[in-house]
Homo-oligomer: A and B are copies of this chain.
């Protein structure tokens, strides 16, 4: 690694002159600027970012803490984050909480001491269930900017990027009704997350306000993946159900596959709608009607807001952006078939 000092020796100029020349300062004559820049380039000189960071008090790094990276939703958000950060010349430091609060906390601690200029956080399942979110507040408040996305918490007064989950679920439920379904169930494997709750509420509201019939809401909650088939099939047998709104992509696809294995026809016997528009949704059989949250856009917006906050630390008022959902109709539901 060549340093300014080395260049200065070779070029017979002072370190500060070199530094200014490389930073295109007006103090330096054009001719020496040219000379220095050429030379530095040919030498493959690159400023040591650590030294710059120390001097300038910033890192140009954004810290990201997400529950996991396997779910396509989070993978897509991460993709959006990386892309926008890259555009804005920021690097991305990632930590995966595994939905574990301890890990989330330690990630936060390690980030919030000058490792990063700001944090993007989507809360662990464990954290969302709790009333106590001290571990988030403690290490954050008044230190560095933090933007929460998707999995947020009422008590946290940070900027947020969320999805209109209520609305998305409401419309999806209504769509099922409009296409002739009368006994619609809501299924969630991500219970206790803010997003699941919002979706449930949207569903429940729609059932109350829109249902021409008298059908009560049916909530199927599955807290362990191994129980998925048992619980689902039991529910199907004990109740009359002709449509399922699943709170996430994987559940929706599993629902389709399990029901088909058990002799149900999709969408004729049961219509299915999920959340998240990933590969699973697109390439399932039949392709899944889904509520897209525009995951990449969420990531993109989160970065934009965070960077704005980084550049403008005085602005106090929390920013709340809500990304509109969009229902993509495919063949897991009856009615018009606009997409394939």
Interface-central residue, A51, A76, A115, A250, by most chain B CB under 10 Å: A115
Which residues of A come within 8 Å of B, CB atoms? 1, 46-51, 53-54, 59, 61, 68-70, 72, 75-76, 78-79, 82-83, 86, 91-96, 103, 109-110, 113-115, 143, 250, 253-254, 256-258, 260-261, 278-280, 283-286
Q: Which residues of B contact A61 (CB under 8 A)?
A: 93
CB-based contact A257/B285 at 8 Å: yes
Chain A interface main SS type: helix
Tell me the minimal C-beta distance from A84 to chain B in angstroms. 12
B-chain residues with CB within 8 Å of residue A261 when the two chains form the complex? 285-286
The answer for the CA separation of A95 and B86 in the assembled complex, in Å, is: 8
Cβ of A69: which chain B residues have Cβ within 8 Å of it? 69, 75, 78-79, 82
Task: Point out the residues of chain B lying under 8 angstroms from A91, CB to CB.
Answer: 93, 95, 110, 115
A-B residue pairs in contact (CB < 8 Å), sample of 29: A48-B54, A48-B113, A48-B114, A49-B113, A49-B114, A49-B115, A50-B59, A61-B93, A68-B79, A69-B69, A69-B75, A70-B72, A70-B76, A70-B79, A78-B94, A79-B96, A82-B94, A82-B95, A82-B96, A93-B93, A250-B279, A250-B283, A253-B283, A254-B283, A257-B284, A258-B285, A261-B286, A279-B280, A285-B285
Contacts of A113 in B (CB 8 A): 1, 46-49
Contact across chains for A1 and B114 when beta carbons are under 8 A apart: yes
Chain B minimum-CB-distance residue to A253: B283
Q: Give Cα distance in the complex from A250 to B70, angstroms.
A: 14
Q: How far is the CA of A50 from the CA of B257 in the complex (A)?
A: 51
Pick the residue among B50, B75, B94, B260 that contacts A285 (CB under 8 A): B260
Once the chains are docked, how many angstroms separate the CA of A61 from the CA of B92? 11
Q: How far is the CB of A139 from chain B (nearest CB, A)?
A: 9
CB neighbours (8 Å) of A103 from chain B are 86
- Residues on B with beta carbons closer than 8 Å to the beta carbon of A114: 1, 48-50
A114 to B260, CA, bound (A): 54
Across the A-B interface, give the 8 residue pairs with the lowest CB-CB distance, nearest first: A257-B285, A46-B113, A50-B53, A50-B54, A82-B96, A254-B283, A94-B94, A69-B75
Q: Shortest beta-carbon distance, A260 to chain B, in Å?
A: 6
Given contacts A49-B114, A253-B283, whether A96 and B83 have CB atoms under 8 Å apart is: yes
Query: Which of B47, B70, B83, B257 is the one whose CB lies under 8 Å from A75?
Result: B70
Instruction: A50-B59, A70-B279 given; name 13 further pairs at CB < 8 Å.
Output: A46-B109, A48-B54, A49-B115, A61-B93, A70-B72, A70-B76, A79-B96, A83-B96, A92-B95, A253-B283, A254-B283, A257-B283, A257-B284
What are the residues of chain B within 8 A of A285 when measuring CB–CB?
Answer: 256-258, 260-261, 285
Q: How close is A91's CB to chain B, nearest CB, in angstroms?
A: 6
Distance in angstroms from A108 CB to nearest chain B CB is 12
